[in-house]
Structure 1
């Protein structure tokens, strides 16, 4: 394997470190002196100029160095070559050269503004490598334009209304070192991320998170029929169920696949109390309970380890 040239290393090192962290990691900085900045989100992370190059010192993480060292430790699993290649060829450089595309979606129910990235590298890698989702499932979601990546590298799960209009979105951070979940501003709270599997929908399968939905789909791919899978975006957001049972008149059964914890139990009992008079309510968490796993993504990853 050829060595990385000094010119390429210097080119990677010359990328604006502060701008990289602001765009790539979503960090914000406060100027505290003539030549250094402190991170708002992580107070022990400081950027400081040294010999004309911006370097970092992250006390709580026992890290320090330049931009290459940061990427090496936090993004490329301590691989120096990959860190340099990531900076030169990865998302950040592409975003600077081709720009991301702001897209404003206006509809009757909402006004959603999403700044899309020019590619889905980080979102794709996060789903397939970190979360264990089969690439064929991810490719299908991309083809159907149900998921995207924004300019801060967040994975976007789109909420669509009956007409197929984007009326909201669930955001999931792709940085495995910094957990992030949110909902796009102005999202219609009556909708969630949903996948239709069948011509006549008779079952509604409910999840707290969209990634659990995809994990369940992968585990049960061959057996899911005539079902709508719905990600609520939180255990407490059960009012979204109303939207879909009104839309799909043939639904007779609601399968509840919330997390195997106290919040999931609470959601299960609340859904059962509200809907049991008109629908057959099923606790779909038996596989979580028998394996003592918290959610379906944890179960999927456990199955991958045991395979």
Structure 2
């Protein structure tokens, strides 16, 4: 007797995911849209990637690929079909559904309300320092700057501010080390305001996540590099909307160091940044040895700890 397998999504959920407008999704994800005709928009520098003006279908001429919004997310963000549907279902409240006479209009965001703080930061601190191996002083420095805190669900909250010091962007990441992890952006976040640190040099280092940024700073400290004064920002993914704003607000920057993940999404994001900004900035890419800089950091800390342990054991033998 065959057991009926439980479906991951209902027909209604799949229909809802498919109803997300591709133009709205692309704009909310930071892609540049250029109107080419009454019936089409183009994402520049993507080798003939066109989206129909009704937002229901797309076609990429150089790759001979196309389809609906699910296929668009799969191709642009290197996601599986299941991951793409989950992504779209999670954004239904933020992205407009397809309408016959849809116009690409920037939606006004409501007020950003930061998640309620927990009575203790112990779970966040333990997660960042013990699990992620981020340097203790760096963690506490970000806490003092009110750029990270723990919410009532014991998750890490990372904040991006505007020039006036007003929070405009916030993302969260669960601190559990087992089971399902939760991450995302707080409602009404503006991804153009990045989490990061303002530097004193003419260079900005660009990361996908706050944890990668903090990991990179920790590695700089481990290698005893004392003159690192670069700007560092997190994009909250691979879309370059935060970088674009940051460069406009810090016009002394002339160099970009791309520090995105060592995977397909990171490669795609790096390529897009290079194509978009290489006529105005000197661009280099620092590729992590592992998937990302937190993976590199954890391996480096383990090596350092092992060497310290071995040295201590040698010293004890000498004393004996």
- TM-score with structure 1 setting the length: 0.60
Match of 2:298 among 293, 297, 301: 301
Look up the match of 1:225.
228
Residue 224 of structure 1, CA deviation: 5.5
Q: Which runs of 5+ in 1 are unaligned?
A: 1-107
| Bigger strand fraction | 1
Look up the match of 2:55.
none
Contact 2:158–2:195, Cα closer than 8 Å, also in 1: yes
Q: Which moved more, 1:224-233 or 1:141-150?
A: 224-233
Q: Does 1:127 align with 2:124?
A: no
Residue 144 of structure 1, CA deviation: 1.4
Q: Which moved more, 1:150-159 or 1:112-121?
A: 112-121
> Structure 1 residues 226 and 110, CA, compared in 2 at 3 Å: closer, same or farther?
farther
Q: Secondary structure at the match of 2:197?
A: strand
Match of 2:246 among 228, 236, 244: 244
Q: Secondary structure at the match of 2:116?
A: strand
CA distance in structure 2 between the partners assigned to 1:247 and 1:162 by the alignment: 9
Contact 1:111–1:187, Cα closer than 8 Å, also in 2: yes
Look up the match of 1:197.
199
Q: Secondary structure at the match of 2:198?
A: strand
Look up the match of 2:208.
208
Residue 110 of structure 1, CA deviation: 3.7
CA distance in structure 2 between the partners assigned to 1:134 and 1:253 by the alignment: 26
Q: Which runs of 5+ in 2 are unaligned?
A: 1-108, 305-320
Contact 2:191–2:236, Cα closer than 8 Å, also in 1: no
Q: For residues 24-61 of structure 1, what are the alpha-carbon distances to aligned partners after superposition, in whole Å with 9 as ceiling and x for unaligned?
A: xxxxxxxxxxxxxxxxxxxxxxxxxxxxxxxxxxxxxx
CA distance in structure 1 between the partners assigned to 2:302 and 2:269 by the alignment: 30
Contact 1:192–1:232, Cα closer than 8 Å, also in 2: yes
Residue 280 of structure 1, CA deviation: 0.5
CA distance in structure 1 between the partners assigned to 2:270 and 2:229 by the alignment: 22
Look up the match of 1:276.
278
CA distance in structure 2 between the partners assigned to 1:251 and 1:163 by the alignment: 20
Look up the match of 1:33.
none
Q: Secondary structure at the match of 1:197?
A: coil
Q: For residues 225-279 of structure 1, what are the alpha-carbon distances to aligned partners after superposition, in whole Å with 9 as ceiling and x for unaligned?
A: 34210111112x2111111001101000010000001111001110000000000
CA distance in structure 2 between the partners assigned to 1:189 and 1:212 by the alignment: 17
- TM-score with structure 2 setting the length: 0.58
Match of 2:262 among 248, 260, 263: 260
Contact 1:172–1:180, Cα closer than 8 Å, also in 2: yes
Contact 1:205–1:257, Cα closer than 8 Å, also in 2: yes
Root mean square deviation, CA, Å: 1.6
Q: For residues 110-130 of structure 1, what are the alpha-carbon distances to aligned partners after superposition, in whole Å with 9 as ceiling and x for unaligned?
A: 432421111101000000010
CA distance in structure 2 between the partners assigned to 1:110 and 1:203 by the alignment: 32
Larger RCO (CA under 8 A, 6+ residues apart): 2
Paired positions, count: 192
Residue 223 of structure 1, CA deviation: 5.0
Aligned 1:79-228 pairs, distance under 5 A: 110-177=111-178, 178-198=180-200, 201-221=201-221, 222-223=225-226, 225-228=228-231
Residue 197 of structure 1, CA deviation: 3.0
